Amino acid sequence: MSVEVILIVGLLALGLGALVVFLVSKKGKETLAPEASINLEEKRREAEEIILKARQEAQELLRKAQEEAKEVRLSAEKEAEKIVKLAQEEADRLRATLKEETEKLRQDFEKKSKEIEDYIAERKQEVQKLEQSLHQRESNLERRVQALERREEELYRREREIREMERQIDQAQRDLQVRLRELEEKEKDLESLRHRELLELQRIASMTLEEARGELLKRAEEEAKMEAIRITKRIEEEARERAEFEAKKIITTAVQRLSPEIAINYTTTTLELPSNEFKGRIIGREGRNIRTFELLTGVDLIIDDTPDVVTISSFDPMRRELAKEALERLIQDGRIHPARIEEVVAEVKKDMDEKIRKMGEETCMELGLYDINPGLYYYIGKLYYRTSYSQNVLLHSKEVAYLAGLMAEELGLDAKMARRAGLLHDVGKAVSHELGGSHTDIGIELCKRYGEPDPVLNAIKAHHNEEPVRYPEVALVCAADALSAARPGARRESLEAYIKRLEKLEEIVKSFKGVQNAYAVQAGREVRVIVNPEEIGDEEAYMLSKNIARKIEEEMQFPGQIKVVVIRETRHVEYAK
């Protein structure tokens, strides 16, 4: 029984006792007579006793209820403790289970992560192996190409030797036939001489002593003349052979003393980047940066998957050098946007002129030519950015100067004048592609303008057989020019034809009215035409592209097709003050 029930029962008992006492007292007042009041006190005592007894029972019930409540509370506490303990055990079990599952998941995750890392490492190793294999194949291919080129040169040389030997054999056969015919004729002459001698002896037998002596002296004189002619001829042949031997010796000595630089030139230049992120900055938003750079420099930027490398492509070495220097400055500066590109390209163009002039001055100092007019320094340095059949023109000119000077020293001639003429014999090539016309005529004009002596002018004309050689030093320059150009590997016909085709392509485009500049890119498969927006409108630019394409088709022969891109750009600049 709960404590609340016991309390209610107790209270009801107390109320019932009080009610009984009240009713008894009231009823006694109404029905009993005064005589009955004697028992009232007794009844009251009985009531009080009943009330006391009821209170005692109520207290007993209350005590029992409290004890029972205490027992119930203890039982409830024990039950609660038991439930809490069970709950804790269940929680511990769940926690342990959760911990085990978490540990298992963590181990699975670590295992999967390790597997992924191992997989990535394997893929990286495979990629590295593939890259190494690719580089190895490229190097092998390059070596094979070089070996094939050497083999081709060797075969060409052997073919020439075989042809020369065949020619010599044919010549020997012809000479043998000629000598056989001469022998036959000599035998006939000898037979006729015998016959004449016999007749002569018969005639002499009838001659006097004086007549015989005169005839003998006459024959002796004729034989002496013939012997003198034979001696003179032998002396001339020996002198010619000796001269040829000395000439070969001098040329061989000069060539052996010369250590020429390699004069190979390519049409691409690679530039290493600090990191791969610069590729995106070079391209710019929607390609604005790379378009501006290519437009201003006239080169073609090739940005591919090769890490940290960008390739600059152009057939003009000067454009490639300018673009390389400008790109290096932009990367070092870090600010790459169209306005900054224009500034840097303008600065590099200005610095390039000074660099070219300094290169020409250093070349003259290297050759000991201290009295050359400084005005020629720029044109001499500019030869470094010109090629002739893939041979660098400045290196070729230095080589000719050294060879001519060495041979002049061997012959006791003016070595300094020979070096001077050798250095300047191709100076016209520095500007011939810009002005047009023969490089010899342009070279003559340049040298006359800067007061060069007559042997230099003669060397410029004579090395292309445009006028006869008037000085021995000039003859040495012509020989040195032939030696430098004929050296194996010095020149290539195909590259020169390729460059001439690109130059002709640009010349055709520049011949149209309103064209400011033209750049051949993509190995000649595309030409970019910059027009003056004030002279050429949008519709005229459209027609200009068609006219240029038509003229290229008429005047040139080329593989594939050539894309003509006409660019018309208008800029409006205003300053806020």
Phi and psi (nearest 5°) for 513?
-70, 140
**pLDDT at residue 321 tops 70:** yes
Collect all residues with Cβ–Cβ distance below 8 Å to 273 and sequence separation of at least 6: 279, 308, 309, 310, 331
Question: Residue 33 has what pLDDT?
Answer: 45
Question: Residue 492 has what pLDDT?
Answer: 46
- Lowest mean pLDDT across 277-281, 293-297, 379-383, 459-463: 277-281
Residue 520, beta-bridge partner list = 527
Question: Residue 490 has what pLDDT?
Answer: 44
pLDDT interval class at 262 (50, 70, 90): very low
**pLDDT at residue 498 tops 70:** no
Average pLDDT of 476-503? 67
Return the axis-axis angle of helices 472-486 and 454-462, rounded to nearest 10°. 40
Average of per-residue pLDDT values in the chain? 77
**pLDDT at residue 493 tops 50:** no
Average pLDDT of 19-41? 55
Q: Each residue of 201-235: pLDDT tens digit?
A: 666 656 566 666 677 677 767 777 666 666 766 66
**pLDDT at residue 187 tops 60:** yes
Q: How many CB atoms lie within 10 A of CB 402?
A: 24
Average pLDDT of 91-118? 86
Question: Residue 256 has what pLDDT?
Answer: 45
The three-state secondary structure class of 446 is helix
**pLDDT at residue 344 tops 80:** yes
Q: Each residue of 152-183: pLDDT tens digit?
A: 787 777 777 777 877 877 787 787 788 778 87
Q: What percent of the chain has pLDDT over 90?
A: 0
- Lowest mean pLDDT across 82-96, 218-232, 371-385: 218-232
**pLDDT at residue 237 tops 50:** yes
Average pLDDT of 389-412? 83
Average pLDDT of 294-314? 82
Residue, of 2 and 439, whose pLDDT is higher: 439
Average pLDDT of 284-304? 84
Angle, CA of 502, 506 and 508, to the nearest 5°: 115
pLDDT interval class at 143 (50, 70, 90): confident
| Alpha carbon distance 494, 106 (integer Å) | 67
The three-state secondary structure class of 275 is coil
**pLDDT at residue 551 tops 70:** yes
| Alpha carbon distance 391, 400 (integer Å) | 13
Q: Quote the tokens at residue 549.
A: 């394409």
Average pLDDT of 334-363? 86
Q: What percent of the chain has pLDDT over 70?
A: 77
Collect all residues with Cβ–Cβ distance below 8 Å to 171 and sequence separation of at least 6: none
Residue, of 574 and 216, whose pLDDT is higher: 574
Residue, of 490 and 435, whose pLDDT is higher: 435
Residue, of 567 and 243, whose pLDDT is higher: 567
DSSP calls for 353-414: HHHHHHHHHHHHHHTT-TTS-GGGHHHHHHGGG-EETTEEHHHHHHHHHHHHHHHHHHHTS-
Q: What's the pTM?
A: 0.43
Average pLDDT of 86-107? 86
Average pLDDT of 468-482? 85
The three-state secondary structure class of 526 is strand
Q: For 205-218, b where at least 16 C-beta lie within 10 A, e where not — what string?
A: eeeeeeeeeeeeee
Average pLDDT of 451-469? 86
Question: Residue 8 has what pLDDT?
Answer: 63
pLDDT interval class at 503 (50, 70, 90): confident
